Every structure is written in structure tokens, then in C-alpha cells.
Amino acid sequence: MRKLQEPSSPMDLSYMKRIKFYLTLLGAWPYKELYGTYKEKPRKIPLRNYKTLFVLLIGVLLSGVLYLKSHIRKLSFFELGHSYITVFMNFIAVQRVSTPIMKSYRRTVVDFVLKLHLFHHKHKSEYAMKVYQQVHRISSLFSIFLYILMYVGIILFQLMPLYNNIQSGAFKATSHSIENGTRYEHSVYHYTPFEYHNFGYSVIFIINWIVVFDCSISLCTYDSLMTLIVFNIWGHLKILIYNLEHFPRPRTLGDTNSTNSIMYTDEELKNVQALLKENIAHHIMVTQFMSQASKAFGPIMCFYYLFDQVSGCILLLELSAMDMEAIVNYGILTAILLQQLVQISAIFEIIGSKSETLKNTIYSLPWEYMDVENRKIVLIFLNNSQKPITLKALGMIYVGVQTMATIMKTSVSYFIMLRTFAEK
């Protein structure tokens, strides 16, 4: 039986190849910065760089806004809600495809691949290897699940309007019937200065496949990247806590006479100091990377929380019709957005709780057996650990379960208000 080749770098892992593929489609993979390490030439896909995508999505966004402005009195309450959702999603996609312009983003991805990924630390101990394998399994399953959900959402979101057009006989409509109110249903509506028939519908249908695909991968891929980074940080904190919990104690108890104290020997103190410096360096690497990641992903999370706040209540309103069309059109989309909100908030909360555990673990170190110099090092370590390891959206809003719960409560409140307004 042929033996599988062992990966030689993080980029040999399936989920890392997957994230690289989709970021390449968005023109967001830092080929230039990684070229010196992996000797990998940039792959230029025609019209798939972030500048082109930014212009395309800006055009789609303006078209959607103009459509809303020109049809706001013609659309039903639920049709208006659909258009608002697509405009908001397009706005988030515009913000995300422009992310690669930030140096902090490119630096974060490079440092993740070259330094932070647990692949580079698995050899340090048996426990580190165990954590690496655990994170590897979680990351692989999560990545597969997220992209399957994404493709199901894209297909249903695009094909349901097509099915409705076939059922309603829109393709058999004449120019006269279009002028008198018969119209095509789309997944995303665009402003056009003229009425159109089947050929015009086909053009918009093809454009919508591109737009929906790009919006979907921009939403899912950046969330996937943030999640993979957080999984690895969680693994680092687990390793750090384990190492501190198993910090060596003095090998000898010394004289039990009350006038003597149990202390490390001079030889042991050298080893203790080396271990303390190693763990402090490990902790500094994690905190500095997290600070850098906050600059890179803070704007993404700020706008994403704003989007969830606004779109959550509208999606609930669309689902409240409780018919098959509403469930197919908005059920998967709501599930994806809710899953991403819960997932991102929950995993950042886990990191926050781990950093709290780390503080207690540092305080539990056997500092009472150390000399003054090593006690000072422990004090510095303890002081450095007081700042929680978490992400703040634009340096203002903590990304975590509490913020997620507030968004959900507010969305439900707005939904009840809008539902009451719609019934009246």
C-alpha cells in the first residue's frame, strides 16, 4: 500500500489549500509576500483581482440602490425587504474585497502561515502534537461544512427565482404584458432604464450568478480564515497552559527544619529561568499576533455586526411567511448568517476564557521556591497576562457571546416591530 506523503508545510494541508484557492479567486492571497518562502509565483486569474472585484461590486451596489429608489413605491413590503437584504450583503462584500489593500491584513496572513500555525510547533512536545492533530481535525471538518453550506445557499438562492418565473409564465409574457405589470423575479435586482424581455433576463441572470458567488465567497472565506486563525490561537493557549501546569517543582524537599525553606537549586534555577523565558516568548508571540489580527479583521467584524443587526430582523420578517418559497429562499441564507455570527462570536469567547485561565495558571507557578530574579520574571509574565487575548471591532466592540446576544435580542425586537407594521 502506498504511504501518504507527510506535509512539509501548513500549505500542504487540505483546508489551507482550500482557503488559499478561494482567497486567490478574490485576489486576496499574499503571493508576493510568501514568494520568498514557498517560491510560488503569483497566479493571476483574468478579472479576479481585488481592484476589479471592488469596481464590479460597487457598480452592483449602486445599481441596487437605484433600483430601490425607483421602485420603492411599487414593491410589496416583503419584496422591499428582499432588496434591502441584497443591498446590505453587497455592501459587506464591497468592504471585504477591499481588505487586501491593508498591509495589516497581508502581514497577518503571512505570519499565520509562517509563524503562528501549529504545524510549526507540533514537534516541541507530545502534547503539542496532540493539540495540533485535534485542531487539524476540527479545521478540516469546519472548512468542508462551511463551503458545502455556502454552495447549497448559492444554488437555492439563484434557482428559486428561476423556478418561480417558470411557474408564473413570465418567460411566455409579451412586451405588452410586461408593461402592464408582469415582471421577472431575480435573486438580485438591478436598475435598468428600460423594460426587457427574455434576452435581458438572461443577461441579468448570468450577472447574478457572478455577483452571488463573489458575495458568498467573500462572506464565507474571510470568516473561515478568521476561524482557522482562532482555532490555532486556542491551540497555542492550550499548550501554554499545559506547560505551565506541568512546570517542574524542586526535585528535593531539602531540610524540613522550620528555619530552612524549600528552594530550587542553582542548577534548577537556570532551567527554571530558561523555561519561564520560553513560555513568556510563546505568550508574547500569541498576544502580538492577536493585536495585529485585530487591526486586520477589526473593520470586517465591525461592519459584519452592523450587517447582522440590520439584516437579522429583515430575514426573520421574510421567513415569517412560513411558505416553501420563503423557507427555500431565506432559510439557508438565515442559517448561514446565523451560524457565522454564532461561530465567530463563540470561538473568540473561548479564547477570552482561555486567557482568563492562563492568568490563574501563571499565578499558580511555584514562584515561592524561586530566587528574587526569577520571581521578578514571573511577576512580569503575570502582568503581561492581565490584558485579555481577544479581538475588538475597530478597537471599540469586543467580539464575543455578549455582543452576539445583544444583536440577536435587538434583531428580534425590530422584527416584532416590523411585523406589526406590515400587518397594519
Rounded CA gap, 351 and 357, in Å?
A: 10
Phi, psi dihedrals of residue 273, rounded to the nearest 5°: -65, -40
Count the Cβ atoms, other than its own, within 10 Å of residue 280. 18
Query: How is 134-154 classified by DSSP, letter by letter?
Result: HHHHHHHHHHHHHHHHHHHHH
Rounded CA gap, 222 and 232, in Å?
A: 16
- pTM for the model: 0.85
Q: What angle do CA 110, 111, 117 make, to 5 degrees?
A: 110
- pLDDT < 70: residue spans in the chain: 1-5, 35-43, 173-183, 196, 198, 252-261, 321-326, 328-329, 394-395, 414-415, 418-424
- Residue type for position 25: L
Is the Cα torsion angle 114, 116, 119, 122 positive or negative in sign? positive
Rounded CA gap, 390 and 356, in Å?
A: 11
Q: 398 has which bridge partners?
A: 392
Phi, psi dihedrals of residue 192, rounded to the nearest 5°: -130, 135
Phi, psi dihedrals of residue 246, rounded to the nearest 5°: -110, 30
Rounded CA gap, 409 and 392, in Å?
A: 21
Residues 6+ apart with CB under 8 A from 235: 118, 131, 132, 134, 135
Which pLDDT score is estimated for 346? 81
Which pLDDT score is estimated for 8? 80
- Using DSSP's 3-state secondary structure scheme, residue 393 falls into strand
Which residue spans within 90-197 are E strands per DSSP?
none
Q: Are 280 and 381 in contact (CB under 8 A)?
A: yes
Can you give the residue ranges of every domain in the chain? 10-423
Q: 397 has which bridge partners?
A: 393
CA distances from 332 to 204, 252, 277 (A): 23, 63, 49
Residue 23: which H helix or E strand, with range? helix 14-25
The half-sphere exposure of 59 on its side-chain side, counting CA atoms within 13 A, is 10
